Amino acid sequence: MRFDVVTLYPDMLRPFFSQGILQAAQEKGLIDIRLHDLRLFSPDLRGLVDDRPFGGGAGMVMRPEPFVRAMEAVTQETGFPPFTVLLSPQGALFTQKVARDLARRPALTLLCGRYEGVDERVAQMCHLELSIGDFVLAGGELAAAVVVEVTARMVPGVVGRYASVATDSFYQGPILGFPQYTRPRTFRGLAVPEVLLTGDHPRIRRFREKEAWRKTLRNRPDLVGLDLPPSPGDGCRTCKGS
């Protein structure tokens, strides 16, 4: 799968994409990540990509021409129009399901906004407008990194054991992943649940399902349509008050 990221700051993303499973996946030829400097597509000889908003208002708005030129350049390279996403606080929420859908596409182009936003005509020319959460970042670069990593993990072979992906939080419906434990069996007075040491796999499976629901109700009741306040004492025993 090919990822093209159009950004004002390609050097910000280059180290992230050169580490861990993303680096390994690129070396294996499973994914191809390409970074494009938006300023190189500016019609202005000085490389300007923004201008004052029509109708007035604070800040600057990113012009449509550089993004559209970049989209056209990527299309010329791939030989077909890739699925194009504008990363924006006004976008639909990025979820695991969206990532699975994106991973089925051969190519994905991500446009990173900055300043007060991107000219709306760019959004109208994209297939999708996405947000990674109900907050505002200085730009779309971190969002692009999130979308690439989450989506790339859905590509077969990127994660060594696909079972690791299938048991992730959110993968099988609106439920968080179950708690995990490893050595030592006891750490600072906190013991691994005894059931995990029994070798009784049906019992372990039932325990994990129960604990996954317990964690979901405690941390994300909104996922199951509830609006519950956090219960006193439910937090981390070693991190009280956090």
**Domains defined along the chain, listed by start:** 2-152 (3.40.1280.10), 174-242 (1.10.1270.20)
Q: Report the 10 Å Cβ neighbour count for 211.
A: 16
Overall pTM surpassing 0.75 (yes/no): yes
Given 65, 101, 116, 149, the catalytic residue? 116
Phi, psi of 226 (to 5 degrees): -110, 160
Residue owning tokens 């699925």:
83
Active site residue 168: yes
| Measured distance CA(3)–CA(10) in Å, rounded | 13
Active site residue 105: no
Given 89, 120, 149, 211, the catalytic residue? 89
Per-residue pLDDT tens, the chain, 242 aa: give them: 999 999 999 999 999 999 999 999 999 999 999 999 999 999 998 999 999 999 999 999 999 999 999 999 999 999 999 999 999 999 999 999 999 999 999 999 999 999 999 999 999 999 999 999 999 999 999 999 999 999 999 999 999 766 566 656 566 667 888 999 999 999 999 999 999 999 999 999 999 999 999 999 999 999 888 776 655 555 444 444 43
